[in-house]
Chains A and B, each alone.
Chain A
């Protein structure tokens, strides 16, 4: 199963940055960290992924610690539409090419 640990829920004020943590202390050297979100039973939506360097795209930033044992997804200016379940997934290279989804973090953006 997924080798990640995330808080079950978080709140964030609208317009503020949402910082979602993920622990992946057993990550291997060639495993990437992926973030997806799922809004109200829609399909999982890809957000961002990275290996060791910090990454940024139009949706979010991904900060990976130097030892790669944890990461943080940052939504710089959260909106009500960012309310969703956020999944941090480590790609397990020796168990095939599927993604293992855990229970994620339920983020609620508060007006």
Chain B
């Protein structure tokens, strides 16, 4: 069964450094998402992406964050200058459709654990 893959599984970075988290969505999916989960807290939406542009973003997704689909298979999340509070699990997801009145589910990867020192 096709799945969303994320690399690395664990990233340790010094505060203030840039970090790039990588995701390979399911191959025929067109809509891509990033979520995060701080330890012990809820899964929170960050951003959705379609047709090479952001379609929706949350308040968390500020100017320090950016997303990119650099080629036909990868989808990346960049944090420009990491802060201690960016420490979390980051999950990538993809779906056949991002329309809210579409019923297609999102399929999640197993996440990247980001630890900021």
Q: Give the interface of A toward B (CB within 8 A).
A: 30, 32, 34, 36, 38, 41-46, 49, 51, 87, 91-103
> Can you list 30 contacts pairing A with B, beta carbon distance less than 8 Å?
A36-B108, A38-B43, A42-B111, A43-B91, A43-B93, A43-B108, A43-B111, A44-B43, A46-B106, A49-B103, A49-B105, A51-B103, A87-B43, A91-B100, A91-B103, A92-B100, A93-B100, A93-B101, A94-B100, A96-B48, A96-B100, A97-B99, A98-B35, A98-B45, A98-B48, A99-B106, A101-B35, A101-B42, A101-B43, A102-B42
CB < 8 Å neighbour of A97 from B4, B31, B111 = B31
Interchain CB contact under 8 A, A100 and B105: no
Interchain CB contact under 8 A, B103 and A97: no
Interchain CB contact under 8 A, B33 and A98: yes
- Given A32-B103, A49-B103, A97:B110 Cβ within 8 A: no
Complex alpha-carbon distance, A96 and B37, angstroms: 20
| A residues in contact with B35, CB < 8 Å | 98, 101
- Given A41-B37, A96-B55, A96-B56, A103:B101 Cβ within 8 A: no
Interchain CB contact under 8 A, A98 and B101: no
Mark each residue of chain B from 25 to 36: 1 if its CB lies under 8 Å from any CB of chain A, else 0: 000000101010
| B residues in contact with A41, CB < 8 Å | 37, 89, 111
Could you tell me the distance in whole angstroms from the C-beta of B25 to the nearest C-beta in chain A? 13
Mark each residue of chain B from 96 to 117: 1 if its CB lies under 8 Å from any CB of chain A, else 0: 0011110101111111000000
Q: How many residues of B contact A (CB 8 A)?
A: 28
Could you tell me the distance in whole angstroms from the C-beta of A48 to the nearest C-beta in chain B? 9
Could you tell me the distance in whole angstroms from the C-beta of A81 to the nearest C-beta in chain B? 16
Interchain CB contact under 8 A, B108 and A45: yes
Interchain CB contact under 8 A, B45 and A99: yes
Could you tell me the distance in whole angstroms from the C-beta of A60 to the nearest C-beta in chain B? 13
Complex alpha-carbon distance, A98 and B100, angstroms: 8
| A residues in contact with B14, CB < 8 Å | none
CB < 8 Å neighbour of A42 from B31, B98, B110 = B110
Complex alpha-carbon distance, A42 and B55, angstroms: 26
